[in-house]
A and B are shown apart, each in its own frame.
Chain A
């Protein structure tokens, strides 16, 4: 997009200049690299903390990977993570976009409402987990309010029933990240040229048609951005699921990050954890790369939409 400054690129000392700018980043990357190599070592050797020194571990080849792939609990965790990520993404998208549509025209109290609506995103995830634990326990205020509203004694076990607990963690993720979609979609709506809207209205289009045939297509890149970023982040969600339920009840809320954590830090099965980590790493990298590819494509459209007057093409 922007042109480089060609005259200076060839200037003496540019290479040094460039490497000073990149130095810290590459230094840190190099520093962390051995951790990945160690992980490779562990995934091909069998070692748990109960055994002796890790450098004397037995070589098992692909044994660890096979053990993980044969582990049905692992596959359930994969499935759960995918379900968790897609449902929470869709949920927060629907809620966030809805809110943005309700809020995109100014009214009295707009600023205050906006400030309140972004609160969940600013709250520390662990705090959310523990606050909702207070709210959701069987004799807690959520059941209390429901009891008053429905005029019966509501005793939903939000945290102890396997099927409901899954629903609960998804709701938590939605509550936490609806503001993310909300602010992005609000920015998207604000960037739409008002002339189009007016033109369509003069031509007699209904509100719904304007939304579907004028606004939605223009918002597509922004929508994609929100969905992709949200999905990728949800795949790695840990603090809320862990803080609230530690994977339980049973293994009902055991997503991939939680199962990885349990394998390594509760069962101390370092090698299995490492092999699993590698599989998850490859799995996530595939998803992330696909996401990034899409992002790159949408970014070009977004750049056109958000170009400030006077900024070069």
Chain B
């Protein structure tokens, strides 16, 4: 009797705590979503509008389609950009992710099968990710401007590939390590060369792992902010940088527009993240924890 009471209390406590956590996590997301559907007079009211009765798609229209209600000169220029930023963000993250995963898989294969990099070097590679990019940002800007790479997609692709390589190498390596090496021995006995073994034997076996790695790195490149902020100016705009430009001319930040853009930026990542949720641990822990 006493035991069941205690157990019930335990369960109740657990759901109470989980409820709080749910609120803490969910409310900001909810607020972002609801603000994006609010008309402009409800952005700053007190008490705040928790549930809007006047749902509207105006914010989305203004931000994504460029149909402004009252476009003052300044607002009109910022509003043209999101579509361009979307294109640039897509191109940038897709290209750099593809390259990063391709290069990373090659290195990972060499390390997994032939130890072409020692254990120590593999760990030192993590520095590419761990040392914050801001420490080389200034000279990088000057270096890029002499090479005419400033404000170009190419320039950003290069640094994105470099900073994500530790993830792609470590993650694909963790998938490769799970493939028994008898596969290669068999392939070699049957007379397949090195490249053919990689392409026709190993790659099909780790394909799902490579896809997971690709999507994981896509999350990282899509949300990158600092390097994009520094190395791009006018010609190249990415969505995270575009987002910081929603400072209204007179009335401070334009919350509704900003939220409508934020929802658009975040949604793809949430879809991808839930799709590869089983592999997120592996990704964020550099493949050290597999599940």
User: A-side interface residues toward B, CB under 8 Å?
Assistant: 2, 4-5, 8-9, 13-14, 17-18, 20-22, 24-25, 28-29, 31-32, 34-36, 38-39, 42, 54, 95, 98-99, 102-103, 113-128, 130-135, 139-141, 144, 147, 175, 180, 183-184, 186-188, 190-191, 222, 225, 229, 232-233, 235-236, 238-239, 243, 257, 260-261, 264-265, 270, 273-274, 277-278, 280-281, 284-285, 288, 291-292, 295-296, 299, 302, 306, 308, 311
Contact = CB atoms under 8 A, between A and B. Distances in A.
Contact of A9 (B114, B255, B262): B114
B289 A184 contact: yes
Nearest to A8: B188
Contact of B219 (A116, A122, A183): A122
Main secondary structure, interface of B, reads: helix
Interface residues of B, number: 97
A4 B139 contact: no
Contact of A2 (B27, B112, B165, B219): B112
7 contacts: A4-B115, A22-B116, A118-B277, A135-B31, A175-B28, A292-B124, A299-B288
B130 interface: yes
Nearest to A258: B134
A123 B290 CA distance: 23
A94 to B, nearest CB: 12
B55 interface: no
A113 B46 CA distance: 32
Contact of A277 (B116, B135, B274, B289): B135
B109 A124 contact: no
B284 A22 contact: no
A14 to B, nearest CB: 8
Contact of B24 (A34, A141, A175, A311): A175
Contacts of B222: 124
Given A22-B116, A144-B50, 12 more contacts: A4-B113, A5-B185, A20-B106, A22-B110, A22-B117, A25-B169, A103-B18, A122-B266, A131-B262, A144-B48, A236-B134, A277-B138
Contacts of A29: 162
Contacts of B27: 135, 141
Best-buried of A134, A270, A292, A295 by chain B (most CB within 10 Å) = A134
A130 B262 contact: yes
Interface string B247-291: 000000101001100100110011011100100110011101111
Nearest to A105: B14
Contact of B277 (A99, A115, A124, A296): A115
Contact of A184 (B184, B269, B285): B285
B110 A18 contact: yes
Nearest to B17: A102
Contact of B136 (A31, A35, A270): A35
Interface in B111-166: 112-117, 119-120, 123-124, 126-127, 130-140, 142-143, 158-159, 161-162, 165
Interface of B: 14, 17-18, 21-22, 24-29, 31-32, 35, 44, 46-48, 50, 99, 102-103, 106-107, 109-110, 112-117, 119-120, 123-124, 126-127, 130-140, 142-143, 158-159, 161-162, 165, 169, 177-178, 181, 184-185, 188, 194, 219, 222-223, 225-226, 230, 239-240, 243-244, 246, 253, 255, 258-259, 262, 265-266, 269-270, 272-274, 277, 280-281, 284-286, 288-291
Best-buried of B117, B143, B185, B265 by chain A (most CB within 10 Å) = B143
Contacts of B243: 124, 126-127, 130
A263 to B, nearest CB: 9
B225 A113 contact: no
Given A25-B107, A42-B138, A180-B284, A119 B270 contact: yes
B158 A4 contact: no
A299 to B, nearest CB: 6
A288 B289 contact: no
